[in-house]
Amino acid sequence: MATEIVLISLLKILVVVLTILTCVVFLVYIERRVSAFVQNRVGPNRTGPYGLLQTVADVVKLLMKEDIVPRNAYKAIHDLAPIISIGVALSTFAVIPIGDTIELFGRQIKLIIADVNVGILYILAITSLGVYGITLAGWSSNNKYSLLGGLRSSAQLISYELSMGLSIVGVLMVSGTLQLDKIVQHQTTYLFGWLPAWNMFLQPIGFITFVTAAFAETNRLPFDLPEAEPELVGGYHTEYTGLKFGLFFLAEYANMITASAVITTLFLGGWHLPYVEYVGLSSFILSLVYVGTFCVKVAAVMMFFIIIRWTLPRFRYDQLMNLGWKLMLPITIINVLLTGIVLLILH
């Protein structure tokens, strides 16, 4: 019995990791295509049909590039930093339910790697570790631009972690649990008999602030201050080449996939597809529909990430900090108070 559980868990891990790595390849291609469309350009169209193999060619190029480390850099930490970043990016997905359950070989298998009862706390703890990869990369490079990028990332993370945590508090108060699968289950009900009880409707302020904080957490435009090219050359990864630079690049897109999955789980109903339970599908087909629904929602959020990157200009650093401390933090505190008042009135 224990052996079966271990094998099933290992299989889940393998499927999730391979899926994320494959998605990154396509995500880079899609981002290039979308950016070309926004800027009225052609985009990749030489390597492979419609440029589909351009990302593969870039990966091969990164693998073949020489690994250059500055003479006075702290080499051990310099090598460790990208491993921390990609490890954190992949580990966060462990507690995200991509579906309800599925019956295979006579067993009911939960479509989640680690079904822990403190899933939200796990996500907040793991994502907080991600800053170490960026900060250590900037410090160990022995480069002032890199160090500034690392320090910016630390300050940015502290500012937006508070708002992100408080925006989730409203969801926890409404759902009454820290387990992500139960939070999704809570969103499978209907308001007024017809409106899905998704937390984006119940917690609109929390939803907006969480999405904004997710942009800052993943260092995506308009909040990519740790690597702002016009100011810091390349920021924390200025002194990285080859595979190690590729790992940072991979970690950014893996973080974007994970952030999209967390947004989907907490606010967009997770794997829930409204009214599908009334269609009369078999349990196996229904499980596949739920997984497909989750993937479509995550893809839609990722497309939003990409479109915003090529739509809004980069914030100045003081604007970024003011937004975090003077606007988002008070708004999320007020949201928690209002949620508590409403719950007291209703109960």
The pLDDT score that the predictor gives to residue 339 is 92
Could you tell me the maximum CA-CA distance found in the chain, to the nearest angstrom? Answer: 66
Min mean pLDDT across 71-80, 209-218, 227-236 is at 227-236
The pLDDT score that the predictor gives to residue 222 is 75
Q: What are the pLDDT digits (tens) for 233-274? A: 666 777 787 788 888 888 888 888 989 999 999 999 888 888
The pLDDT score that the predictor gives to residue 135 is 82
What are the backbone angles phi and psi of residue 93, rounded to the nearest 5°? -70, -10
Task: Judge whether residue 294 has pLDDT over 90.
Answer: yes
The pLDDT score that the predictor gives to residue 226 is 60
Taking the domains of the chain in order of start, what are their residue ranges?
71-346
CA 72/CA 238 separation, integer angstroms: 15
Q: Which residue has the higher pLDDT, 187 or 70?
A: 187
Question: What is the CB-side half-sphere exposure of residue 46 using CA atoms within 13 A?
Answer: 2
Q: How far apart are the first and last CA of the chain?
A: 44
What are the backbone angles phi and psi of residue 103, rounded to the nearest 5°? -95, 115
| 3-class secondary structure per residue, the chain | CHHHHHHHHHHHHHHHHHHHHHHHHHHHHHHHHHHHHHCCCCCCCCCCHHHCCHHHHHHHHHHHCCCCCCCCCCHHHHHHHHHHHHHHHHHHHHHCCCCCEEEECCEEEECCCCCCCCHHHHHHHHHHHHHHHHHHHHHHCCCHHHHHHHHHHHHHHHHHHHHHHHHHHHHHHHHCCCCHHHHHHHCCCEECCCEECCHHHHCHHHHHHHHHHHHHHCCCCCCCHHHCHHHHCCHHHCCCCHHHHHHHHHHHHHHHHHHHHHHHHHHCCCCCCCCHHHCCCCHHHHHHHHHHHHHHHHHHHHHHHHHHHCCCCCCCHHHHHHHHHHHHHHHHHHHHHHHHHHHHHHC
The band of 9, judged by pLDDT with boundaries at 50, 70 and 90, is: confident
Q: What are the pLDDT digits (tens) for 321-339? A: 888 888 889 999 999 999 9
Q: What are the pLDDT digits (tens) for 107-154? A: 788 888 888 888 888 888 888 887 888 888 888 888 777 777 777 777
> Which of 71-75, 192-196, 221-225, 266-270 reaches the highest mean pLDDT?
266-270
